[in-house]
Amino acid sequence: MTQAREKATDTATPQETLDRTDRQLLDIIQTAFPLAPRPYAVLGEQLGISEEEAFTRVRALKARKIIRRLGANFQSAKLGYVSTLCAAKVPEARMAAFVERVNAEPGVTHNYQREHAYNIWFTLISPSRQDAQATLDAISRDTGVDILNLPATKLFKIRVDFRMDTSADEA
């Protein structure tokens, strides 16, 4: 499974291209981003680097698309929102345009390409089922691709963290 948001241009894994400080930084910001007036100063203190270096490293990780998004995650259902899993059979000739259109929607949280008849799968968060359907209808109208709408009825997983700094395991 590959992310449809962007494709990697090389085959090196993050562990092969990131130094230990970058990996530790990624671990911290995934699980415990500081809620402080100067969060990068806190990050720097935790990592033994300056506030400016912490900020510069995060900016570089974003530029390299190792960090796609940095922001708060909310439990959308507790805010009254609904989520739906969506699938589409997208011809290769329309793939780039379809993915670009889907990714333009602020409610899309994940978007993956798979090797299957339904080759694009994404999740959509909306204020209501009607809003979700209207968004899917607009995407279909704009791209000419039908979308299978599979509304969530039960939440099974709310997060996953990717442990980046495994150097302590290797010692």
Quote the tokens at residue 144: 């000419």
State the amino acid at position 171 in one-letter form. A
pLDDT, one tens digit for every residue, the chain (171 residues): 445 544 433 455 555 689 999 999 999 998 889 999 999 999 999 999 999 999 999 999 999 988 888 887 778 888 999 999 999 999 999 999 999 999 999 999 889 999 999 999 999 999 999 999 999 999 999 999 999 999 988 877 666 666 777 775 555
Evaluate whether 95 touches 2 at the Cβ level (below 8 Å). no
Query: In the chain, what are the domains?
Result: 20-64 (1.10.10), 76-151 (3.30.70.920)
